[in-house]
Amino acid sequence: MSEMRVKFSNGEFVPLEMHKVRVVQKLNLLPIDERLKAIEEAGFNTFLLQNKHVFLDMLTDSGTNAMSDQQIASMMVADDAYAGSASFERLHQAIKDVFNKQYFLPVHQGRAAEHIISQTFIRKNSGQCIPMNYHFTTTKAHVELAGGKVLELYTDEALNLKSSHPFKGNIDIEKLRALIETNGKERIPYIRMEAGTNLIGGQPFSIENLRQVRDLTQQAGILLVLDVSLIGENIYFVKQREKEFHNKSIKEIMHTMCDLADIIYFSGRKVSCTRGGGIATNDYSLYLAMRDLVPLFEGFLTYGGMSVREIEAMAVGLYETLDETVISHSPQFIKYLVERLDERGVPVVTPPGGLGCHIDARSFLPHIPSLQYPAGALAAALYIVSGIRGMERGTISTDRDEHGNEVPADCELLRLAVPRRVFTLSQIKYVEDRVAWLYKNRDLVGGLKFVEEPKVLRFFVGRLAPTTDWTHKLVEKFKEEFGESL
Ligand code: F0G
């Protein structure tokens, strides 16, 4: 199957937008001195920057994907009711049609689903573990809050940042088999697979791998929970890379994947280009086991903390994930950016994934030790030289262990998310230009240290400071080369 739906006459790969822009938001690109001031005020944490100080917001695709005209239009017909809203019925139908699941629990966002699933199935003080292909920050926090332990059974290839492996998100089946043999279902309440595995670079798993997991869980009587927040992009890669699925529709692939799981859950901020989230299953007893936590923590069963407008847009957005032009947008733009940066020698994670372009900060800044947070330093430096806001996905995003020790992350990544249908190609070229410039001047970038460090999920609101006066030297060099240019 050709990745390019439209061929250019010179044979070049150019990601072509299959949509037009009808509503726009004005952007600001501040002069570099003001950018330096903004990141200082933000404690060198890109989460704490104000959006008005950001040019290209590549922090995340979460809640920032562009909505379609159909989604916006659907919000106008939302049915406001505490209970029994017709909007909920439309969403419920979409859950059945898109995910092939009959029972549905709405929640206010993905982590709320993680909260409910882990509180329902994990028993405290029982030494239970949750094997998974890789953790996500909020997933891990909720599993631990419920008294469980996360065990990541990724393959050797997963953390190989320069790779051509098509399915780095696969779980290691032999490790899983061995773990199940030693622990059994008593100590493993469920296995979690994450589609489009976020923290290793938005990498997919194969359906072959998921089927193997399914076989093991069925033999052992263990539940299989699938995080489908990034399933659209995972499906796109399955269609591209797994022969059996080249000619299958997106809907067929979606159903094949969801049918293998006992429970699916999602962040609507990603999968449906809205806000909100949900949990779905075909097993009524599992639905009942989780159900009562929804009114307790989220809201009544027909809204789960979401506004009815969001519910309508979610229903439309879910149907739109079955459109290949929607789910291929980010992967194609990411591929373009990753390949250009790779050509220019910038260490980027390959193969290109489905969420963003990931830069390997350990290779980019080999002179910065893990405990001076290379990925965090790179995020701050890139903001200073470009106004681009990326996200640190490294040691800052890894909380200290139970003894209070720092845990150097497996990978130090700077994630430049490419939300669906948000950026134009010239904006992506700007990203390429400024990242490549920073790479040439990488020796000027220094480390960071915490000045205010929260105990849980410290990356969100922790404040840091540069270890030396490197930020000023970087600004000087920028001015020397770019003169009056922003
Ligand atoms: N699962 C995955 C795979 C995610 O990427 C996220 C969020 C969640 C669950 C939690 O969902 O934010 O709606 O509560 N990822 C965001 C990100 C935060 O920036 O990658 P949420």
Report the SS3 class of residue 222: coil
Residue linked to tokens 């800044």:
365
- The verdict on whether 227 is a catalytic residue reads yes
Residue 483 DSSP one-character state: T
* Angstrom distances, CA of residue 206 to CA of 83, 187, 239, 350, 474: 40, 26, 10, 17, 43
For residues 112 and 203, what is the distance between their CA atoms, to the nearest angstrom? Answer: 23
**Amino acid 448: pLDDT:** 98
pLDDT tops 60 at residue 292 = yes
Each residue's pLDDT tens digit, 412-467: 999 999 999 999 999 999 999 999 999 999 999 999 999 999 998 899 999 999 99
**Is 336 part of the annotated catalytic residue set?**
no
- Mean pLDDT confidence for 362-380: 98
Atom 12 of ligand 1, nearest CA residue: 110
Q: What is the pLDDT of residues 180-232, one digit of tens each?
A: 999 999 999 999 999 999 999 999 999 999 999 999 999 999 999 999 999 99
Q: Tell me if residue 373 is catalytic.
A: no
Cβ–ligand 1 distance for 312 under 6 Å, the answer no
Which residue in the list 57, 61, 172, 227 is annotated as catalytic? Answer: 227
Query: What is the Cα–Cα distance from 374 to 446, expressed in whole angstroms?
Result: 8
Report the alpha-carbon distance of residue 192 to residue 142 in Å, rounded.
13
C-alpha span between 453 and 455 (Å, rounded)? 7
pTM over 0.85: yes
Q: What is the pLDDT of residue 3?
A: 61
For the chain, helix, strand, coil in percent to 5 are 45, 15, 40
Output the CA torsion sign for 455, 457, 461, 463.
Answer: positive
Asked which of 10-14, 244-248, 329-333, 462-466 is least confident by mean pLDDT, the reply is 10-14
12: pLDDT confidence band, cut at 50, 70 and 90? confident
- What does the alpha-carbon distance between residue 211 and residue 162 come to, in Å, rounded to a whole number? 27
Closest listed residue to residue 168, CA positions, set 203, 214, 199: 203
- φ and ψ at 281, to 5 degrees? -155, 160
CA distance 304 to 298: 5
Mutate to test the pocket of ligand 1, among 61, 62, 271 (most ligand atoms within 8 A of CB): 62
Helix axes 425-440, 374-386, angle to 10 degrees: 120
Tokens of 83: 């209970």
Residues in a beta bridge with 193: 226
Q: With contact defined as beta carbons under 8 Å apart, do 195 and 234 qualify?
A: yes
Q: Considering 104, 136, 336, 364, which one is annotated as catalytic?
A: 136
Q: How far is the CA of 111 from the centre of ligand 1 (A)?
A: 7
User: CB-based contacts of 198: which residues, under 8 Å, 6+ apart?
Assistant: 134, 136, 229, 230, 355
Question: Is the pLDDT reported for residue 30 higher than 60?
Answer: yes
DSSP conformation class of 261: -
Helices (H), 162-297: 173-187, 207-220, 231-241, 250-259, 268-271, 284-291, 293-297
Question: d(Cα 233, Cα 332) in Å, to the nearest integer?
Answer: 10
Beta strand 263-267 with 56-57: parallel, antiparallel or unpaired? unpaired
Given the residues 237, 265, 287, 459, the one annotated as active site: 459
pLDDT number for residue 13: 86
Average pLDDT over residues 17-42: 96
Tokens 């089946």: give the residue. Answer: 173
Lowest mean pLDDT among 9-18, 100-109, 201-210, 278-287: 9-18
3-class DSSP assignment, residue 221 = coil
Ligand 1 proximity of 137 Cβ (cutoff 6 Å): no
> Pairing state of beta strands 356-360 and 413-417?
antiparallel
Q: Check whether 4 has a pLDDT greater than 70.
A: no
Residue 269 CB–ligand 1 contact under 6 Å: yes
In the predicted model, is pLDDT for residue 480 greater than 80? Answer: yes
Q: Which domains does the chain have, with CATH numbers?
A: 32-61+326-482 (3.90.1150.10), 69-322 (3.40.640.10)
* C-alpha span between 438 and 467 (Å, rounded): 19
pLDDT value of position 11: 87
182 CA to centre of ligand 1 in angstroms = 31
Q: Which two tokens stand for residue 386?
A: 């470009």
Does the annotation mark 7 as catalytic?
A: no
Q: What is the mean pLDDT of residues 400-417?
A: 94
The alpha carbon of 470 and the centre of ligand 1 are apart by a number of angstroms equal to: 33
pLDDT at position 5 is 75
Is there an atom of ligand 1 within 6 Å of 354 CB? no
In angstroms, how far is the first alpha carbon of the chain from the final one?
A: 42
Whether 430 is a known active-site residue: answer no
CA 113–ligand 1 middle distance (angstroms): 11
**How high is the mean pLDDT of the chain?**
96
pLDDT at 7: 86
User: What is the pLDDT averaged over residues 43-72?
Assistant: 97
Pull the structure tokens for residue 60.
């995340």
Share of the chain above pLDDT 70, in %: 99
Parallel, antiparallel or unpaired: strands 448-452 and 463-466: antiparallel
User: How far is CA 247 from each of CA 68, 202, 237, 259, rounded to the nearest angstrom?
Assistant: 27, 23, 13, 19
Rounded to the nearest angstrom, the distance between the alpha carbon of 58 and the centre of ligand 1 is 15
Say how far apart CA 235 and CA 49 lie, in whole Å.
33
Q: Do residues 410 and 443 lie in contact, with contact meaning Cβ atoms separated by under 8 Å?
A: no
DSSP 98: I
H/E segment holding residue 463: strand 463-466
The preferred substitution site among 136, 143, 200, 274 for testing ligand 1, maximizing ligand atoms within 8 Å of CB, is: 136
User: Distance between CA atoms of 360 and 418, rounded to whole angstroms?
Assistant: 17
